[in-house]
Structure 1
């Protein structure tokens, strides 16, 4: 690996200034950019590390940049989300890298050069794997490897082009590196939970082989100067020949084949992961005092969603009763157990191996939620509700809607969960309905913002959930 230097955000303003106009155009177009619909007014540099010198044929920068955007349209700019960028530098891009183009720099230290998303390029992707293999320390970047884990050199990288909220590189069908794009300081559950599950010997989640972290000191944010540690990427074994649950469900649905057996097996896998998490990490009891702020958060998300997506308005009273029914149970003295959960479970977060075994992946949780919230103990029903909503999505995604197919999958999943976990989520219908309603509201806001053509899918569920809530 080439000798590296670290450039601080205060001593090299020219680098970011030269990239600024290109990033303003390129960044909002990326699937993983969280601030869509609001203009980017500027950037601040959190950290910059030179991994390959730009004076050569190929340069490579690792950047952490904070995008400045108004919180709402017309408001003042705000120092918002921090993004991880790997910027490749070349004189010109070969045709194979055309999809990775960011733009041509016209001034500053990279004037006259072409910059691009380096994860699409095998050589920069190689640099990352070699750093993980050698457990390198490069400026503020730390490349860690799990004890007794080996990474052999020479694995050929390829970027995965499927639509994702992060980026992934596969190395020789042996490893997959998930590169987090929107990063926050603190303990990331996408590394924390798989490490905890590996210690418990849970084979349902691929154990982390290695990971990338960054130590950042002296960042100024909202007037405060503080040091922070960021998790930037996780390397795990690649499950060869695996199919993700979403693709498999759509394939079975298109052929008119039953998916209930797979849904039941997936329910068992989910329960096994929950059981291992409860052994590995603390659990808590939720009573009235704990449920009250949780329910209030659900109600506030509903009110905010109605403001953002007015079509929700007529259903809001019925939806609200789902949350109030849960609050009433808590007020009567009911309690629930909460623990660490996946936090964003759906069919696309599940892999079925060629041997038929199910694995759960991507423990980051809902990226739009604050990290502290994503790390809070939750009822396991939160994950169950996410999966039930996913079956509904699949049933509405190909050809005419197939509600009976979805109902069969939902029942089979809950049966499988009860077989392995000793608890059938259907026996707590008030709790399950509240979490499923909260999830459907989230989906409505997401689809209205990112995929308007999909909005009828969660809206169909909203209509049913509002009616069901009004009957309780």
Structure 2
């Protein structure tokens, strides 16, 4: 096993999902299990390895396929290395032996492994049939997970299975929320196929967590960011689609409030939220001096928000923006990726929160469409794209109010949440894309002068 870990230590830093970029991994095997391989020439294993080069240590899921080196082409995709003479390790999601075994376990149920390390497949009640043989490919461009797309030669429903690379204790909210919504027939999420849960040895005893989630794949669609950006660039009216998106968002929020417990927003919750806003603002001002003149007006908005009436806390999307929604022809908007912000601890991602946080995230996303066009087309009149974004924001809020609670009733709180999001964006842009910094700075200036709805 030491030779396998040595191979992984060389390979993992080059993967997008590896968190400790620039460091040499210090890997320890936590557990492993074998999947039933449809290919007798391949051994399919899933390794759980802790990287102790990070503090705290990060636990990774690394599926591998062992093949005879003589059978692996020189240009084969996903090659990890050779832990011993004559054996080559291949990244599981790129090899049909692993992808077939994974889909079978997730969609049909069953167990793999023994002792302290066990994987259990849990088919969803709303699952479409996956009995046909499937071809598979890895979805490119992901940062923190690996998704496998399955297509059936017999015309069955295509499936996408997300393999969680970084593992955490507890049920992943992407599985929990989407499955619950799909099981009650929500038209605004894909149908769930099933999930893979795991048990492994932890410091204080057995730990349970989520390993993979499979759902209906909707091909030939574009995410809302691309749809909105194309409309803004062409000067097309987007208000009808933005209003429909508001309706979809409010309906999903109402379903989540009905399916999961809600809690009252008490003094402690308000104080904690206000404290986090102030800390983030002070951090941002230290990094982005351009925010300093806005400090007192921002704090005034925060003060009005904490004095206003707050709605109940409930389960929410948690990382909501135009890139998390797709427009399906002859169907409408579909929401994806209820995993929450990947860098937040799982305990925070599953905690009831303000539904208005999702609303604020989408409003910021519309603003980013306009801001990105201003940067790409500096000669274009600013009022042109600004009016497009204002109309889209207004239509989204109108649609949300039509199907749910009117955000205008809690305007002060919505303004505070949008400003807090823009402050976070300012930190991000200053660190990663300084040329984009005017987008959140412009939003802060607008929001301290007037309400979100304008």
Q: What's the TM-score once normalised by structure 1's chain length?
A: 0.82
* Aligned ranges 1:4-43 → 2 under 5 Å: 12-23=1-12, 25-27=13-15, 30=16, 32-36=17-21, 39-43=23-27
Distance 1:320 1:66 in 2: 45
Q: 2:209 aligns with which of 223, 230, 248?
A: 230
Which secondary structure state, in structure 1, belongs to the residue aligned with residue 20 of structure 2? coil
* Aligned ranges 1:125-144 → 2 under 5 Å: 125-139=99-113, 140-144=118-122
Distance 1:253 1:463 in 2: 18
The answer to whether the 8 A contact 2:174-2:337 is kept is: yes
The answer to whether the 8 A contact 1:97-1:120 is kept is: no
- Is 1:409–2:409 an aligned residue pair? no
The Cα shift of 1:306 comes to 5.0
Aligned to 1:85: 62
Which secondary structure state, in structure 2, belongs to the residue aligned with residue 338 of structure 1? coil
Distance 2:64 2:280 in 1: 37
Query: Residue 165 and residue 388 in structure 1: after superposition, are their counterparts in 2 closer, same or farther (change >3 A)?
Result: farther
Aligned to 1:318: 294
The answer to whether the 8 A contact 1:295-1:324 is kept is: no
Which secondary structure state, in structure 1, belongs to the residue aligned with residue 341 of structure 2? coil
Aligned to 1:145: 123
The Cα shift of 1:203 comes to 2.1
Which secondary structure state, in structure 1, belongs to the residue aligned with residue 274 of structure 2? helix
Which secondary structure state, in structure 2, belongs to the residue aligned with residue 131 of structure 1? helix
The answer to whether the 8 A contact 2:423-2:440 is kept is: no
Distance 1:303 1:414 in 2: 30
The answer to whether the 8 A contact 1:209-1:235 is kept is: yes
Aligned to 1:182: 166
- 1:64-115 alpha-carbon deviations (Å, 9 max, x no partner): 2222345xxxxxxx233222222233427536644x343x33xx5x445443
* Aligned ranges 1:194-209 → 2 under 5 Å: 194-209=178-193
The answer to whether the 8 A contact 1:278-1:340 is kept is: yes
Distance 2:133 2:220 in 1: 21
Query: Residue 291 and residue 456 in structure 1: after superposition, are their counterparts in 2 closer, same or farther (change >3 A)?
Result: farther
Aligned to 2:278: 299
Query: Residue 351 and residue 464 in structure 1: after superposition, are their counterparts in 2 closer, same or farther (change >3 A)?
Result: closer
Aligned to 1:7: none
Query: Residue 88 and residue 447 in structure 1: after superposition, are their counterparts in 2 closer, same or farther (change >3 A)?
Result: farther
- Is 1:49–2:37 an aligned residue pair? no
- Is 1:246–2:225 an aligned residue pair? yes
Query: Residue 314 and residue 470 in structure 1: after superposition, are their counterparts in 2 closer, same or farther (change >3 A)?
Result: farther
Which secondary structure state, in structure 1, belongs to the residue aligned with residue 133 of structure 2? coil
Distance 2:297 2:353 in 1: 21
Distance 2:328 2:174 in 1: 21
Q: What's the TM-score once normalised by structure 2's chain length?
A: 0.85
Distance 1:469 1:376 in 2: 29
Which secondary structure state, in structure 2, belongs to the residue aligned with residue 439 of structure 1? helix
The answer to whether the 8 A contact 2:422-2:443 is kept is: no
The Cα shift of 1:135 comes to 1.3
- Is 1:442–2:424 an aligned residue pair? yes
Query: Residue 321 and residue 387 in structure 1: after superposition, are their counterparts in 2 closer, same or farther (change >3 A)?
Result: same
Aligned to 1:360: 335
The answer to whether the 8 A contact 1:215-1:230 is kept is: yes
Distance 1:444 1:115 in 2: 42
Query: Residue 437 and residue 151 in structure 1: after superposition, are their counterparts in 2 closer, same or farther (change >3 A)?
Result: same
The answer to whether the 8 A contact 1:252-1:258 is kept is: yes
Aligned to 1:9: none
Structure 2: runs of 5+ lacking an equivalent = 152-156, 379-384
- 1:304-352 alpha-carbon deviations (Å, 9 max, x no partner): 4455xx2x1331462575355334543x463332211100111111121
Query: Residue 226 and residue 385 in structure 1: after superposition, are their counterparts in 2 closer, same or farther (change >3 A)?
Result: same
Q: How many residues align?
A: 430
Distance 1:467 1:254 in 2: 22
Distance 1:267 1:96 in 2: 47
